[in-house]
Structure 1
Amino acid sequence: MVRRDIVRGHNDATYDIVPKQDQLFNVEFLEIAPTPIIADRVFFVYLRGYLPESTNTLALYDKGLVDATLTVSGSVIYPDGRYEDPRSLTIP
């Protein structure tokens, strides 16, 4: 059985490719409203987190965070069982 790390907050999000303990950004809270998201409607996402205090400017440069990005993925499962494959959005 695969262990799934759930992201704290009101959401259905989980850590996926990069395990929680290996994340450079510590997520404190993720709010998605409404949940579940209603098709063809506006929804809101609030993400709060931090970089660990032990990470200084030089360490950020050494870890390649100068060009860091945030990638968010999502997929859809409709009530009738149809689904859409996951799509990703990468933000600089």
Structure 2
Amino acid sequence: MSRTDAINAIAKNLPRLREDELATLVAVTTAWAQPERTVSLTPAERDAVERSRKDFAAGRTLTLDEAEARTDEYLAARRAARNGE
């Protein structure tokens, strides 16, 4: 759907919306129409982002299940170390 088609579809359906639906539409579109926010990163955070980009480019990624398994293993090892196991 083109931008023009989307705008026309929204305009066509506006008269059928209830007041609360119109208010929601206004809130959502107002929020989405805000200029992009800029984020200030520390040098360490910028380095981490750059390392992540390189990892993605090199195919060094994990599935969600793999990441969760590694996190679980790490936390279990930390608990064991803390408990003197």
- TM bracket (short chain): under 0.3
Greater per-residue strand proportion: 1
* Greater C-alpha radius of gyration: 2
Higher helix share: 2
Higher relative contact order (Cα pairs below 8 Å, separated by 6+ residues): 1
